[in-house]
Chains A and B, each alone.
Chain A
Amino acid sequence: MRALLLRDLRLAIRAGGGFGLALAFFLIVVVLVPLSVGPNSDRLAIIAPGMLWLGALLANLLSLDRMFALDWEDGSLDLLATSPMPLEAVALIKALAHWITTALPLILAAPAFALMLNLPGAGYTGLLISLLLGTPALSVIGSFGAALTVGLKRGGLLLSLLVLPLYVPTLIFGAEMTRRAAETQEYLTPMLMLAGITCGTIALLPFASAAVLRANLR
């Protein structure tokens, strides 16, 4: 399993692996928001939590379709399915690799982006904790969507349509937690909800992904 994780990380940082794509997209969103709503810093401070979470979520979506599609195209997925590694573990490791290459850089860059959107100083802790707790769910849900669309040519749009409704709870509680933190309110409830959603998806969805992959490989 470590071998698969290392291989996926190595593939991501080699040429054409798409590493940094999500970060660049997130940066574009954050740069364009003040241009579209105007430079009024009070207004920006109000919308910053929602915009940061929306940007992170869409950036996450960008690289989902490569998760299984590349392995399916070159036959690696067949070979992984016939290997001693359970497909459930393959799905979970793929989600973890996606999280490390996509979400982790976003989280590390988030404070800088928050500064560009004038997020109130009290909101930074809430933003970072909410991203740390919430983004694993995005990657795991995404791996399920990627498994569903693995055999389809250009299934990227369908993948987004399937995955976005499942992203909604994470988006709601993540943005809510950041907003409450920014307004120096108590944010334990949305934080627990966010952690609960993430734990639930990690516990259940790899099994669904593996079942779907088996059906798609037939």
Chain B
Amino acid sequence: MVLQVTDLSLARGGVRLIEGLSFELASGQAMLVRGPNGIGKTTLLRTLAGLQPPLTGQIDAEEDSLAYAGHLDGVKPTLTVAENLRFWAAVFGGGDLETALRDFALTPLRDRPAGQLSAGQKRRLGLARLKVTGRKTWLLDEPTVSLDAEARALFEAAVKAHLAQGGAVLAATHIDLSFGAADTLDLTPYRATSPIAGAFDEALL
């Protein structure tokens, strides 16, 4: 078990979004988070990544096992592709730069300033970062935005390779990704019934 979530409640901006969510993610498992806009997919992923605290409930994960990739890629426009990746590899202390570049077809672009990349190439760089983190569980928020069919195939292959190595993936997405046997976590049944988070004032916490 790489990630276990028990009875989780989430709020965003003082509005309660999700209640009573429990699920488990095992090694080698991919899970797609589904649900309509605004249900709390991003909030769930940010909470799991530790960027915001849950209202209630418990998140059990191995220490330093999660890698988060949000809507933004964290790419510095004035650094080259290789410099961007090398920085994240150094921060996370691991990962093979060349393999990450190759897996996302970035090797020909390695010395290009990231500011000159197209949106899809930038996204590929953002996803390649996951490989150099050396983390076991990937939390992905709409990972395929602005990827073309070819790049999507690269991404799916990278995810499959990661799963085969005992990793796990939790991805919020609206499109169908072929990760092999992916489970689906639909958030709709967990939509909070009492929308206001009560006396909870997150500005003071």
Interface residues of chain A, those whose CB is within 8 Å of chain B, are 2-4, 7, 10-11, 14-17, 71, 73-76, 78-85, 215, 217-218
Evaluate contact between B70 and A16: CB separation under 8 angstroms. no
Evaluate contact between B76 and A218: CB separation under 8 angstroms. no
Evaluate contact between B92 and A84: CB separation under 8 angstroms. yes
Evaluate contact between A78 and B93: CB separation under 8 angstroms. no
In the complex, per-residue mask of B34-68: 1 if CB is within 8 Å of any chain A CB, else 0? 00000000000010011111000000000010111
Residue in A closest to B87 when the chains form the complex, CB atoms: A7
Cβ-defined partner of A82 (8 Å) among B53, B68, B76, B86: B68
Interface size on B, residues (CB 8 A): 32
Residue in B closest to A90 when the chains form the complex, CB atoms: B91
Which residues of A lie under 8 Å from residue B76 when comparing CB positions? Answer: 7, 11, 74, 76
9 further A-B contacts with Cβ under 8 Å, apart from A7-B79, A74-B73, A84-B92, are A4-B87, A17-B78, A74-B72, A78-B49, A78-B70, A82-B49, A82-B68, A84-B91, A215-B203
Tell me whether A75 and B74 are in contact in the complex, defined as CB-CB below 8 angstroms, given that A10-B79, A82-B66 are known contacts: yes
Evaluate contact between B91 and A4: CB separation under 8 angstroms. yes
Residue in A closest to B53 when the chains form the complex, CB atoms: A218
Which residues of A lie under 8 Å from residue B88 when comparing CB positions? Answer: 79
Which residues of A lie under 8 Å from residue B156 when comparing CB positions? Answer: none
Evaluate contact between B71 and A75: CB separation under 8 angstroms. yes
B75 interfacial contact with A, CB 8 Å? yes
Evaluate contact between A10 and B83: CB separation under 8 angstroms. yes
| Nearest CB of B to A93, in Å | 11
Which residues of A lie under 8 Å from residue B86 when comparing CB positions? Answer: 3
Which residues of A lie under 8 Å from residue B75 when comparing CB positions? Answer: 74
Evaluate contact between B91 and A11: CB separation under 8 angstroms. no
Interface residues of chain B, those whose CB is within 8 Å of chain A, are 46, 49-53, 64, 66-68, 70-79, 83, 86-88, 90-93, 129, 202-203, 205
Evaluate contact between B78 and A75: CB separation under 8 angstroms. no
| 20 A-B residue pairings within 8 Å (CB atoms) | A3-B91, A10-B83, A11-B76, A14-B79, A16-B78, A74-B74, A74-B75, A74-B77, A75-B73, A75-B74, A76-B74, A78-B72, A78-B74, A79-B70, A79-B88, A84-B91, A84-B93, A215-B205, A217-B52, A218-B51
Residue in B closest to A12 when the chains form the complex, CB atoms: B78
Evaluate contact between A78 and B91: CB separation under 8 angstroms. no
Evaluate contact between B87 and A3: CB separation under 8 angstroms. yes
A16 to B88, CA, bound (A): 22
A218 to B103, CA, bound (A): 32
Which residues of A lie under 8 Å from residue B202 when comparing CB positions? Answer: 218
A2 to B87, CA, bound (A): 10
Evaluate contact between A82 and B50: CB separation under 8 angstroms. yes
Which residues of A lie under 8 Å from residue B51 when comparing CB positions? Answer: 78, 81-82, 217-218
| Nearest CB of B to A64, in Å | 19
Evaluate contact between B91 and A75: CB separation under 8 angstroms. no
A74 to B83, CA, bound (A): 16
Which residues of B lie under 8 Å from residue A16 when comparing CB positions? Answer: 78
| Nearest CB of A to B82, in Å | 13
Which residues of B lie under 8 Å from residue A11 when comparing CB positions? Answer: 76, 78-79
Which residues of B lie under 8 Å from residue A75 when comparing CB positions? Answer: 70-74
| Nearest CB of A to B193, in Å | 23
Cβ-defined partner of B67 (8 Å) among A3, A74, A82: A82
Evaluate contact between A83 and B92: CB separation under 8 angstroms. yes
Which residues of A lie under 8 Å from residue B64 when comparing CB positions? Answer: 84
Most central of A4, A17, A74, A79 by chain B CB within 10 Å: A79
Which residues of A lie under 8 Å from residue B87 when comparing CB positions? Answer: 3-4, 7
Which residues of A lie under 8 Å from residue B93 when comparing CB positions? Answer: 84
User: What 6 pairs between A and B have smallest CB-CB spacing?
Assistant: A75-B72, A3-B90, A14-B78, A76-B74, A218-B52, A75-B74
| Nearest CB of A to B27, in Å | 20
| Nearest CB of B to A31, in Å | 30
Residue in B closest to A79 when the chains form the complex, CB atoms: B74
